[in-house]
């Protein structure tokens, strides 16, 4: 973390671990890339930026043995996808902003997190990077401000479950990621085998 960048007392971390990992064939949040399960690696990565770091988990994961002291939020809604985790986090603590990171970004480092925090605009509903194509917002690495909570609730009521679509339709801060490969998602064994750490 450069220059003591800290998100402040109103920023929590949220690691999205509740996906089904169907293509990978095993829980992506527990894959080991840096000598420890990915969800633990990301927790350590986010901790210096946040008041607290939570794991976003599905109902099945919530029955597992969690590491001592690890905070987690169980998906509260009956639809799949990352929006469930983000919305559940706001339902847990609506006054907080949430630094959201997907568990399947093994190349993520403090370089991108520092850039995200430096570029954060709390006056906008969210601060996110452009995706790896440089055209659309990347919903799985960003800061979601409290003002975005009612927007996401309305999206769900309208049966629109895409966080990217919600970002496209609202006033958000869009940044360029310093190192594009840090946005790499690893979703299946072939992608994992070809990964260069």
Instruction: Report how many domains make up the chain.
Output: 1
d(C-alpha 61, C-alpha 85), whole Å: 13
Separation of alpha carbons 106 and 167, rounded Å: 23
Distance CA 75, CA 73 (A): 7
In which order are the strands placed within the sheet that holds 53-57? Answer: 71-74, 53-57, 11-16, 97-102, 137-144, 126-130, 173-175
Q: What angle do CA 33, 18, 29 make, to 5 degrees?
A: 10
Contact 19, 85 (CB under 8 A): no
Summarised one tens digit per residue, pLDDT across range 81-117 is: 899 999 999 999 999 999 999 999 999 999 999 999 9
- Indicate whether this model's pTM tops 0.85: yes
Residue 98 lies in a domain: yes
Which residues are within 8 A (CB) of 101 and not within 5 positions of it... i.e. 6 or more apart?
13, 14, 15, 16, 42, 45, 46, 108, 140, 141
Task: Report yes or no on 2 lying in a domain.
Answer: no
* Domain-embedded: residue 1: no
pLDDT reported for residue 195: 60
Domain that holds residue 126: 7-194
In a domain, 124, yes or no: yes
Q: How far apart are the first and last CA of the chain?
A: 19
Please list the residues that pair with 57 across neighbouring strands: 74
**Any domain includes 120:** yes
What is the pLDDT of the chain when averaged over all its residues? 89
Average pLDDT, 10 consecutive residues per value, the chain (197 residues): 73 87 65 88 96 93 83 92 96 97 94 97 97 94 98 94 96 96 77 66
Q: Specify if 27 maps to a domain.
A: yes
Per-residue pLDDT, 185: 79
Sign of CA dihedral 31, 32, 38, 39: positive
What CATH number did the domain enclosing 95 receive? 3.90.550.10
Residue 30: which of 55, 59, 13, 48 has the closest Cα?
55
């Amino acid at each position: 973390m450069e220059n003591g960048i800290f998100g402040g007392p109103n920023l929590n971390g949220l690691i999205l671990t509740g996906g089904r990992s169907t293509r990978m064939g095993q829980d992506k949040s527990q894959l080991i890339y840096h000598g420890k399960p990915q969800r633990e690696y990301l927790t350590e990565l986010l901790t210096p930026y946040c008041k607290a770091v939570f794991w976003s988990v599905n109902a099945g994961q919530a029955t597992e043995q969690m590491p001592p002291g690890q905070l987690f939020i169980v998906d509260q809604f009956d639809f799949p996808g990352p929006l469930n985790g983000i919305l559940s986090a706001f339902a847990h603590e609506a006054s907080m902003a949430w630094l959201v990171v997907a568990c399947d970004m093994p190349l993520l480092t403090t370089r991108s997190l520092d850039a995200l925090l430096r570029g954060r605009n709390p006056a906008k509903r969210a601060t996110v990077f452009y995706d790896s194509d440089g055209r659309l917002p990347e919903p799985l690495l960003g800061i979601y401000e409290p003002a975005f909570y009612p927007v996401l609730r309305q999206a769900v009521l309208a049966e629109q479950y895409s966080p990217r679509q919600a970002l496209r339709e609202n006033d958000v801060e869009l940044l360029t990621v310093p190192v594009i490969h840090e946005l790499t998602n690893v979703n299946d064994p072939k992608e994992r085998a070809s990964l260069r750490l």
